Amino acid sequence: MTTKPSVLFVCVHNAGRSQMAAGYLQALSGGRVEVLSAGSAPKDQINPVAIEAMAEEGIDIAANVPKILTTEAVRDSDVVITMGCGDACPVFPGKRYEDWELEDPAGKDLETVRRVRDDIRSRVEALLAEIAPSA
């Protein structure tokens, strides 16, 4: 039996980019991937504009709660995707790290957040095709 790959999405506040990416991977993978998200300095709630943008795609992230980045979360993940968290992410040998340069949707209008969301979706689709191709 093979274990499913795990992906950790990390941004500073865990309120926008990482939550949207996690929402997409959860929805698109159909359970083939374990999905985690965290922030180096998490906010107390998810960005309401990110919630609205994802709802347009039929993905509900409204009940999600920003989480603090832990060393264990990084250690337990196969792939770590950072989004502007700089050196806050611990690095472990043998892990796959990618840094996705994405505009921070915090305080932005819905049109801007949609653009960020669509960029995230295409990156998530490419990642999913690599790490857990459908049968």
Q: Which residues are catalytic?
A: 11, 85, 89
Backbone φ and ψ of 37, nearest 5°:
-145, 155
| CA–CA separation, 4 and 65 (whole Å) | 24
**Helix, strand, coil percentages, rounded to 5, for the chain:** 40, 15, 45
| CA–CA separation, 110 and 112 (whole Å) | 5
Kindly report the CA angle at 131 between 101 and 121, in degrees rounded to 5? 40
Q: In what order do the strands lie in the sheet with 6-11?
A: 34-39, 6-11, 79-83, 96-99
7: number of Cβ within 10 Å: 27
Tokens of 121: 């979706």
